[in-house]
Structure 1
């Protein structure tokens, strides 16, 4: 499918420069994202660690209270 559009995407001036810049921006974005996630302190997500389990236990206690 891309072979039909290949001439439109590569038929303008400085096509390789634009493609290189977009590739570098893409790589820099993911390297930056990885760096941000890597530099979070170890306890950053500690409060969120058991949230799904806490919600289930709250629902069970609510069900027990409403049944009585």
Structure 2
């Protein structure tokens, strides 16, 4: 993977912002939705038939493509 095109990196704290441990700023800002779409678009994810929802904290699947 080539990081040459990355111009800016933001660090987002994943601490819960509510009573639910899955309620994070990443969840509320929808940034995790985009990351799920990116992961699902990887060739290995497609080989396994993974969809964006397979990379959600809430499914219990919590997939990771290597």
Kindly indicate which of the two structures has a greater share of residues assigned to helix: 1
Give the TM-score category using the shorter length.
Answer: under 0.3
Using the size of structure 1 for normalisation, the TM-score is: 0.25
Of structures 1 and 2, the one with the larger relative CO (CA 8 A, separation 6+) is 2
Using the size of structure 2 for normalisation, the TM-score is: 0.26
